[in-house]
Homo-oligomer: A and B are copies of this chain.
């Protein structure tokens, strides 16, 4: 087979690209298998259903990203008891960018998939993420809450979802936005530059005092 990966991997590779670009329900199994150059029936042989394929695509990223993010946060907390919000968010940059070594365009693909998962969700994806990676999420939320103790938990819930929205929308539109920024302002940004632009925005929004 030489440089041809196995069928299961070929399906996952083609599927994640198409899911990220077009969304889950806009991507048919026929499109996936034709891009992957495998037989239509092999999806059901290897994954059982489209739903389970979607979960497998997400799991392949989450299984790498979540532990890496957790360990970065633990090490930040042990070295700096009073880390700022900016520090906490910046901690995620390395685990995110490392996904580019896992696969080409890995960072952007992952963030786009996450966004699609939260928006399109017929329920099963939110459930899948929170039951399989709930501990990591809880740890992250706690780290953020500790570094912004003036924000009540209910308000923090909203602000973290505002933050999630900012990130996933920006990443989903990253191509178009960098293109416009280059044409209109002569700026040339890669994905890391965009991430570094968004962090101060997020930190300011999360930490802004609650108005009475």
Name A's B-contacting residues (CB within 8 A).
Answer: 23, 25-26, 115, 118-121, 126, 153-155, 157-159, 161-170, 172-173, 176-177, 180-181, 184-185, 187, 194, 197-198, 200-208, 210-211
Contacts and interface: CB of A to CB of B under 8 A. Distances in A.
Q: Is the interface of A mostly helix, strand, loop or mixed?
A: helix
A187 B154 contact: yes
Nearest to A204: B208
A6 to B, nearest CB: 32
A181 to B, nearest CB: 6
Contacts of A26: 25
B211 A200 contact: yes
A126 to B, nearest CB: 8
Contacts of A126: 176
A157 B169 contact: no
A115 B169 CA distance: 9
Nearest to A171: B165
A31 to B, nearest CB: 15
A160 to B, nearest CB: 10
Nearest to A120: B23
